[in-house]
Structure 1
Amino acid sequence: MKLLFVADPLAGFKIHKDSTFAMMREAARRGHVLYACEANDLSWRRGGRVEAHVRHITLTGASGYGVKDWFKVEDETRVALAEFDAVLMRQDPPFDSEYFYATHLLGRAEAEGARVFNSPQALRDHPEKLAILEFPEFITPTLVTRNAADIRTFHDEQKDIILKPLDGMGGMGIFRVKEDGLNLGSIIETLNRDGAQTVMVQKYLPAISAGDKRVLVIGGKPVPYSLARIPQGSEIRGNLAAGGKGVAQPLTARDREIAETIGPKLAARGLLLIGLDVIGDQLTEINVTSPTCFQEITDQAGFDVAAMFVDALENALPG
């Protein structure tokens, strides 16, 4: 098969932990042909199809921390996306205007016959912070609002809260306010910007000390191990980008209940791969853009996540 990865610049990949690289490596091992482009390589012209300036790449076999020469560009060309067996949208967040426009181009390509994973429509329909609102039975007390007074009322009720922007990633812009309310006003001003920006507020979960678990769901089925991202020192965020320590561990019964409820529903909407964030027994986010943690789970638990993903991708394609 010919696979096109729409991703961030390949030269910036940290291949010792990058999940897209793990997908590429497993796909190449099976004999699939790899192509790559960036979202800014996508284009459409009247009378034509959505196409991209793509690079046909092969893997050199290099691996390890800091390696840059892990791929070789065999040739470059402009190709309609419908000519590929599958297009994998793996650009990292944020989900900004340009990402949004890219999903529309990818959606047009779908109408022309391209097979895109995750589905562009599903990417738009499931913003990573707000997607949890569909599953209130699994989430902690949560408020989504632009109203500063509502946030103060929620704090009065819950005493210990987390505030975060809807467009944050990697733990960016997350604040904790304890019962004393210290700096609550300043934090609201920073995130809410006088009512211009919507804020998510959640009850603080002490179970974060044991880790913010990433539960991967592929083709509607959970990977049997999560990666608990454990905050270090005085940090409240477990995100690996914020210095958290990743520890692979078997799914709990609650993890599996959440994954087996949500996974099939979202898979049916075109979300081949999702990442559920679970603290304790509460769902906090549903990641759909470019979920990670493949290599950490494989390295520590011995379960080949990339193989499970490519199996699901192959099964999702005709023939």
Structure 2
Amino acid sequence: MAIRVAVQMDPLASINIAGDSSFHLMLAAQARGHELFYYDVKSLGWQAGRVTADAAPVKVQRVAGDHYELGEMRKIDLGSDADVVLMRQDPPFDLGYITATHLLERLEGETLVVNDPRSVRNSPEKVYVLDYARFMPPTLITRSAADVRAFQKEMGTVPVVVKPLHGNGGKAVFRIEADGGNLSALAELFGQVWPEPFMVQPFLPEVAEGDKRIVLVDGEVLGAINRKPGEGEFRSNLAVGGYAEKTGLTEREAEICEALGPELKRLGLVFVGIDVIGGKWLTEINVTSPTGLVAIEKFDGTDTGGAIWDAIERRLGAKG
């Protein structure tokens, strides 16, 4: 069945089509004959009980420098002019992001939003994962340098990693050696830049062997990639120079996915990426704008975009 898809994402001109999961989903939708619209979250609004956006029809192709063609921009009613909204703009998970989820939540009963905006709002990556603390490394959330020093003492000679609670893509992630050098200055900086507390965890040396991204679709494992740090880096995020390699799941990782899967499906979190280090340590549950589809398809030959559209179409069928 042909469906109308409104894609809420960052500017199309700025994306890297070689690895962008949103673009990959758009290509897969277009191949099925679905009608695509593009809009910027900044145009999202509400009037007379209707959720609207300034959107343009769009066609996409995997041609660098000529990868999209926009039609005429017009205001559309996301409740009556779209069957599906893909909420795919990147964080930061700030008040603007939260407000967008509140507006999109008002489409319930009319238009399917993927991922479910209420669940996205209630499941920020580094907070939602606390529901599964049994799979996590030792973790501290604080604003206090004194708390971090006490945590460091517990860790002994192991360095710690300090990161913003609502960051993404490996940005502003710092490694602090066991002597605590620069800790006070870093805690002060975090306090000035972000209103929320920050997260502290022991540095896991296994990260040198990779940080695994596992993608789940409607609670089922679609595939995984192992992301390894680039030269001179400890962060393995692809956005900061990491690279991907083919991988499978360990027994512990399969156990983690089995524990998460049913709840992800129940919450309407159709496309989720979880991060696991050392084959056993769950560090994040990514629900806002997860990535990894292109690399998984490259290594495994899986139709990753098709699998997600299959899940979306099943939900639409059940809804209708």
**Normalising by the residue count of structure 1, what TM-score does the alignment of the two structures yield?**
0.93
Listed as ranges, the matches of 1:78-117 within 5 Å are 78-83=75-80, 84-110=82-108, 113-117=110-114
**Partner residue in 2 for 1:237:** 235
- Answer yes or no: is 1:269 the counterpart of 2:270: no
CA contact (8 A) 1:138 1:283 kept: yes
Does residue 248 of the first structure (1) align with residue 246 of the second (2)? Answer: yes
| Match of residue 130 from structure 2 | 133
Equivalent positions of 1:5-44 (< 5 A) are 5-44=7-46
Query: Alignment partner of 1:72: what SS?
Result: strand
Question: Which residue pairs with 1:260 in the alignment?
Answer: 258
- The amino acid across from 2:291 in the alignment is T
Check whether the contact 1:148–1:195 (CA below 8 A) recurs between aligned residues: no
Identify if the C-alpha distance between structure 1 residues 4 and 195 changes in structure 2 by more than 3 Å, giving closer, same or farther: closer
CA distance in 2, matches of 1:276, 1:196: 25
Q: Deviations over 1:219-255 (max 9, x none)?
A: 11011x3121111223110011111111121222222
Amino acid at match of 1:128: E
Contact 1:294 1:305 in 2 (8 A): yes
Show the counterpart of 1:121: 118
What letter matches 1:3 in structure 2?
Answer: V
| Residue 186 (1) aligns with residue 190 (2) | no
Q: Which ranges of structure 1 fall in alignment gaps of 5 or more residues?
A: none
Separation (CA, whole Å) in 1 of partners of 2:24 and 2:196: 36
Deviation at residue 142 of structure 1 after TM alignment: 0.3
Q: CA RMSD in A?
A: 1.7
Task: Give the whole-Å Cα distance in 2 for the aligned partners of 1:178 and 1:82.
Answer: 52
- 2:314 matched residue in structure 1: 315
Of 67, 72, 78, 1:70 maps to 67
Partner AA of 2:251 in structure 1: A
- For 2:173, the equivalent position in structure 1 comes to 174
Asked if the contact 1:215–1:226 (Cα under 8 Å) also holds between the matched residues in 2, the reply is yes
Distance of aligned partners of 1:97 and 1:243 in 2 relative to their CA distance in 1, 3 Å threshold: same
Other-structure match for 1:4? 6
Q: Structure 1 CA distance, aligned partners of 2:74 and 2:34?
A: 18
Q: TM-score, normalised by structure 2?
A: 0.93
The one-letter amino acid of 1:121's match is: R
Contact in 2 for aligned 1:148/1:192 (Cα 8 Å): no
Is residue 53 of structure 1 aligned with residue 54 of structure 2? yes
- Matched with 2:148 is 151
1:86, 1:69 → 2: CA distance?
A: 26
DSSP-derived class of the 2:254 partner = helix
Task: State the Cα distance separating 1:286 from its structure 2 match.
Answer: 0.9
In 1, are the aligned partners of 2:145 and 2:183 still within 8 Å (CA)? no
1:162-184 CA distances to partner (integer Å, 9 max, x unpaired)?
11111211111111122222222
* Contact 1:147 1:195 survives alignment (8 Å): no
Report the alpha carbon displacement of residue 72 of structure 1 after superposing the two structures with TM.
1.8
- Once the two structures are TM-superposed, the CA of residue 196 in structure 1 deviates from its matched residue by 5.3
AA matched with 1:186: A
Deviates more, 1:259-268 or 1:84-93: 259-268
- Work out the CA distance in 1 between the residues paired with 2:269 and 2:309: 14
Counterpart Cα distance in 2 of 1:172 and 1:74 = 35
Verify: 1:295 aligned to 2:297, yes or no.
Answer: no
**Quick one: which amino acid aligns to residue 101 of structure 1?**
T
Q: Mind listing any 5+ residue stretches in structure 2 that lack a counterpart?
A: none
**SS of 1:82 mapped into structure 2:** coil
Identical pairs, percent: 41
- Larger CA deviation: 262-271 vs 274-283: 262-271
Matched AA of 1:77: R
Please state how far the C-alpha of 1:263 moved relative to its aligned partner: 2.1
